Homo-oligomer: A and B are copies of this chain.
Amino acid sequence: MSKKSTATETEGLTQLGHATSLPASPDQAVLERVPNPHPDQSYCIRFAAPEFTSLCPLTGQPDFAHLVIDYVPRKWIVESKSLKLYLGSFRNHGSFHEACTMDIGLRIKELLSPRWLRIGGYWYPRGGMPIDVFWQTGEPPKGVWIPEQGVPGYRGRG
């Protein structure tokens, strides 16, 4: 059972429970972690982040995406508020769709050393064609339940 671990889980965190301003860039964002409350079980955690925006590195125009991140933790889970601030740090940062999605996935992987991780980046259309990017660290671990993300495809109009 995990009921007594609350205090331990959150000490040392720099952002949770404090007023925080949006980091100026992904490099300045502090992505933090807390102990996995159930390190002896293999389970999957999903974050849906429909409020993602960055800039096009060629034109400086805003880009928008719906991101969904799935991972199977080992020793650590990501602290949600720091994840929110990290994603917010792309607001004025230029990045191509493919690289941006991958970079986010790789950074979380680096922080958590999870058993497995995947990220789906569902970008809003440009030139009438949306791009989706799907990456995972490899074959999902056997015996772990990882449902499809099921984000609806882009239909245009009609």
Contacts and interface: CB of A to CB of B under 8 A. Distances in A.
A10 B148 CA distance: 34
A14 interface: no
A44 B135 CA distance: 6
Contacts of A88: 61-62
Nearest to A64: B51
- Bin chain A's interface residue count: 35 or more
**Complex copy number for this chain:** 10
Contact of A64 (B48, B123, B156): B156
Nearest to A59: B19
Nearest to A61: B22
A28 to B, nearest CB: 13
Interface in A10-49: 10, 16-17, 19, 21-22, 36-38, 41-49
13 contacts: A1-B103, A3-B99, A37-B99, A42-B135, A43-B136, A46-B131, A50-B157, A50-B158, A84-B127, A118-B145, A122-B157, A130-B157, A136-B145
Given A6-B58, A36-B98, A134-B146, 8 more contacts: A3-B95, A19-B59, A50-B64, A66-B155, A66-B156, A80-B131, A84-B129, A125-B157
